[in-house]
Chains A and B, each alone.
With several copies, the nearest count.
Chain A
Amino acid sequence: MTGAFSTSELMAVVMAREFRDGEVVVMGAVPALPLAAAMLAKSTHAPSLSYIVGGSGTVNATPIGLTTLSCDAALAPAPSALPLPEVVLLEGRGDALDVFCAGGLQIDAYGNCNLIAVGEWAAPALRGPGTVGLPFLPATKRSVIYAMDHSPRTFVERVDFVSGPGHPASPDEDRTYRGEGPSLVVTPLATLDFDPTTRRMRLRSVHPGVTEAEVAEATGFEPAPGPPVSETPPPSEEELTLLRRLDPGGLLSG
């Protein structure tokens, strides 16, 4: 807990603020955090937000309490549920979805994600679970990356395996999709975004009680210089009240 709210609660609030009204958000495995963020955004500044929970294909599900399971039967009372192959179609269509919530075993300076293998793919030091839908990141308007571990092990200069494409590391790289790429990275320590020219990750804000030096030490690459770093605005009383109403089981606050 940082003061009167947990780190997860802060992260959920930060992600919620990143979702804009009318957008369509898609999330995958272990959806508790992005689900909380989407539900919170929808109940505050983004009443026309839509959100799709991974394997269930549900749109705007309102489970009683958050869930960590992307195919939870608790998601079924939703005003719409798409068969998963139809979600896959929309992911590839390129103009249907706005925000893809992503993560990785490794996340690099250009926002590439790796859920497949640390080390050599053929003989990995760490085999990840696999990449599910992350290859569709560049076909989505933009992505929000979140990670529960902010350490040099996770935040690396270059992922060992690109399973969720981020920004091109060089302006020569041809990425002509509609996508804007990753727009925000949310961690337990800070929020980070990307230099609009070099597309390299930079520190945007540190969470209350965290120093810039601590973030630098926890990051395995040199972030791009950017505007002065602020403190992440903490949850408002309204945000926290609404969030806890969505999370009676205390999945985020515990």
Chain B
Amino acid sequence: MPGRFLEAEEAVAEFVPSGATIAVGGMHMTAAPMALVTAMVRSGVRTGTLVTSPSASLQAELPVAAGLVDEIMSPYVGFEDLGLAPRFRKAVESGELRVVEIDEGSLTHALYAGAGGIPFLACPPGVDLTDIPRVSPELFRRVRNPFTGDEGWAIAGLRPDVTLLAAAEADEDGNVALGRFPFTDRLMALAARRLVVQVERTVDSGAMAARAPGDTIPGFLVSAVVVAPGGCLPTSYPGFYDRDEGAIRTYLKAARAPETLEAWLADLTGADPARGAEDS
């Protein structure tokens, strides 16, 4: 059934249960679904396991900073040129946040497998020479290659309960178009049991037809569409706006101390629901 148009809080209330495995799209400081992530934080939804793209910034840091994540599975949480993710770092160092250690390749292939009903696959070379499988025994198991007899690591298919993505456009039937580098957002969409997409704007169905194959996600995969112009800020949405470096720096500064972080979070998620991602 094609996706329905909802407000961010409604979409979170209906499709993001507490304790679930939530995947958030966007890579680094580009196309992070901040309107949805902020609505989750505002609603106080706990994330059982937060799965991110191969690299995440505020879409991971914010729910962690709000103390709403039990466990995180991410190959990278940070802010590129602006440095480490302060609350992610502190939460891991203090033991408040459990890490399910994973790398980009294993995550990508686990999503591919999850999307395709593939029970598991044998890991490509490389990760076996790292310490990652040793510390992630729930993700990696030894398997014997039935063709060669070789032993190696296997990873199971991964199916997020919900994936949150940011797209450029949606038409009235809930088809969405990315119009940008796809990152792993498509695999996250295909692997998810439920998919919630925030978009910059709506367009007529006809406009979708001009998109290249592989730029759109069909409405039947989309549970809900949230129209949120500027909703990736302070991260960027290519073709719409650049990242708001000042706003990110403001956050990073605020995150240094519990009191200033509290104030920043209250400002972002405070009682006034009219204040959305644009204020972040």
Are A and B direct contacts in the complex by CB distance below 8 Å? yes
Which of A's residues lie within 8 Å of B, judged by CB?
Answer: 22, 24, 29-30, 32, 48, 50, 52, 54-60, 68-73, 76-86, 88-96, 115-116, 121-139, 161-165, 175, 177
Whether the Cβ atoms of A138 and B126 lie closer than 8 Å is yes
In the assembled complex, how far is the CB of residue B103 from the closest CB belonging to chain A, in whole angstroms?
A: 5
For the complex, give the distance between the alpha carbons of A68 and B28 in Å.
11
Instruction: State the Cβ distance, A71 to closest chain B Cβ, in Å.
Output: 4
Is there an interface contact between A73 and B239, defined as CB atoms closer than 8 Å? yes
A125 engages B93 (CB within 8 Å): yes
Q: What are the residues of chain B within 8 A of A54 when measuring CB–CB? A: 55
In contact, B93 and A132 (Cβ under 8 angstroms):
no
User: Residues of B contacting A71 with CB < 8 Å?
Assistant: 27-31, 181, 183
Cα A75 to Cα B1 with chains together (Å): 22
Binds A, one of B6-14, B37-45, B113-121: B113-121
- Whether the Cβ atoms of B171 and A79 lie closer than 8 Å is yes
Contact indicator A94/B218 (Cβ below 8 Å):
no
A1 to chain B, nearest CB (A): 20
Can you list 10 contacts pairing A with B, beta carbon distance less than 8 Å? A50-B219, A69-B80, A80-B216, A86-B214, A88-B104, A130-B74, A132-B75, A136-B124, A138-B126, A177-B125
Annotate B182-219 by CB proximity to A: 1 below 8 A, 0 otherwise. 11101100110100000000000100110111101111
Residue B146 at the chain A interface, CB threshold 8 Å: no
Q: Once the chains are docked, how many angstroms separate the CA of A131 from the CA of B109?
A: 16
A123 touches B127 (CB 8 A): no
Interface set of B (CB-CB < 8 Å, partner A) = 1-2, 27-31, 53-55, 74-78, 80-81, 84-85, 88-89, 92-93, 95, 99, 101, 103-106, 108-109, 112, 114-118, 124-127, 129-132, 135, 171, 173, 175, 180-184, 186-187, 190-191, 193, 205, 208-209, 211-214, 216-221, 236, 238-239, 242-243
Report Cα–Cα, A81/B2, bound state, in Å.
15
Q: Are B190 and A93 in contact (CB under 8 A)?
A: yes
For A82, the chain B residues whose CB sits under 8 A away are 213-214, 218
- Distance between B251 CB and nearest chain A CB, rounded to angstroms: 16
Does A59 contact B175, Cβ atoms closer than 8 Å?
yes
CB distance from A21 to the nearest CB of B (A): 8
10 cross-chain pairs, A with B, having the tightest CB-CB distances, nearest first: A92-B124, A129-B78, A92-B117, A73-B238, A165-B129, A68-B81, A81-B213, A89-B116, A80-B218, A22-B1
CA distance A125 to B92 in the complex (A): 10
A7 vs chain B, min Cβ distance (A) = 17
Q: A50-B218, A93-B116 are in contact. Are A69 and B29 (CB under 8 A)?
A: yes
Residues on B with beta carbons closer than 8 Å to the beta carbon of A57: 181, 213
Q: Give, as a whole number of angstroms, the nearest-CB distance from B189 to chain A.
A: 9
**Is A129 a contact partner of B105 (Cβ separation < 8 A)?**
no
Complex alpha-carbon distance, A162 and B135, angstroms: 11
Bound-state CA distance A24–B76 (Å) is: 24
Known: A128-B84, A135-B129. A80 touches B175 (CB 8 A): yes
A163 touches B126 (CB 8 A): no
Q: Kindly provide the distance from the CB of A130 to the nearest chain B CB, expressed in whole angstroms.
A: 4
Instruction: Report the minimum CB–CB distance from B186 to chain A (whole Å).
Output: 7
Pick the contact of A126: B93, B118, B219 (CB < 8 A).
Answer: B93
Closest residue to B92 on the A side, CB-wise? A127
Cα separation A213 to B214 with both chains bound (whole Å): 50
Which residues of chain A come closer than 8 Å to B171, judged between CB atoms? Answer: 79
In angstroms, how far is the closest chain B Cβ from the Cβ of A253? 16
**CB-nearest residue of chain B relative to A125?**
B93
In the bound complex, how far is the Cα of B81 from the Cα of A72, in angstroms?
A: 12
User: Do the beta carbons of B81 and A30 come within 8 Å of each other?
Assistant: yes
With A and B bound together, what is the CA distance between A138 and B124 in angstroms? 11
Q: Looking at the complex, which one of B77, B129, B218 makes contact with A59 (CB distance below 8 Å)?
A: B218
Across-interface contacts of A115 in B (CB, < 8 A): 76
Task: Specify which of A84, A88, A134 is in contact with B181 (CB 8 Å cutoff).
Answer: A84
